[in-house]
Amino acid sequence: MGSKIRVLIVDDHALVREGIRAILEANPDFEVVGEAVGGQEAVDKTKQLKPDIAIMDLTMPGMNGLEATRQIRQCCPEVKVLTLTMHDNDTHFFQALDAGASGYFIKGGSSAELVAALRMVWHGDVFLYPSMAKSLLGDYLKRVRAGKDRESYDGLTDREQEILKLVAEGRTNQEIADLLVVSASTVQTHRAHIMAKLGLHTRTELVKFAIQRGIITLDK
């Protein structure tokens, strides 16, 4: 892997693509390897250019961003996708996660926030725009007051609950091991137990679980 984070920009509006390119080209850690104006072109260029991350608009003519994300994740699983959208609601957020996206960025965010989101996704973490976090956590609190959605989480041990929170916050196994003064293999074992108990299969599902139940607070 090169020293720069290689990015493909996918949006049907030239002004948006130009703006993102200007932001990234001003940062020496990024290289814009190409642009696409629709979903099918995004899939084709991903296969051809093999970027590290595709910044993917959701709403485009022809193949939309969700279907393009699914196809990219199937054909090029090493390529991560950061969803770019005007839709600030949990329906679109979960659809994007289910399609394989590693982040959800709301148009209108700052250039610094976009750069930070891309860095998080590149490192294997999941990015959620702060306004989305507030909405999802508010929904969770309503369900908790109604006495719902606690059984599976309460079945975890204290240490498993602690590790679940750290994983969902984006910590690596080694970072968690250093923090808890245990081995990385021990952390991995705990993670496997957590996933089995909760019936989860991927990190994205784990993050979704943590957000829905208010285990992590992303309003930083």
| C-alpha span between 218 and 220 (Å, rounded) | 6
pLDDT of residue 114: 93
pLDDT of residue 20: 96
- Express as a percent the part of the chain with pLDDT over 90: 43
pLDDT per residue as tens digits for the range 30-45? 999 999 999 999 999 9
pLDDT per residue as tens digits for the range 144-203? 555 555 566 777 889 998 998 888 887 888 889 999 999 888 888 888 888 877 877 777
Give mean pLDDT, residues 103-118: 89
**Strands 127-128 vs 80-85: parallel, antiparallel or unpaired:** unpaired
Considering only residues 181 and 90, tell me which one the structure prediction assigns the higher pLDDT: 181
What domains can you pick out in the chain, each with its CATH number? 5-128 (3.40.50.2300), 147-212 (1.10.10.10)
**Taking the CB of residue 14, how many other CB atoms lie within 10 A of it?**
10
Least confident range from 84-88, 133-137, 172-176: namely 133-137
In 3D, which of 186, 198, 208 has the Cα closest to residue 155?
198
pLDDT of residue 54: 98
Burial of residue 139 (CB within 10 Å: 0-12, 13-18, 19+) is middle
pLDDT of residue 220: 43
Side-chain half-sphere exposure of 7, counting CA atoms within 13 A: 29
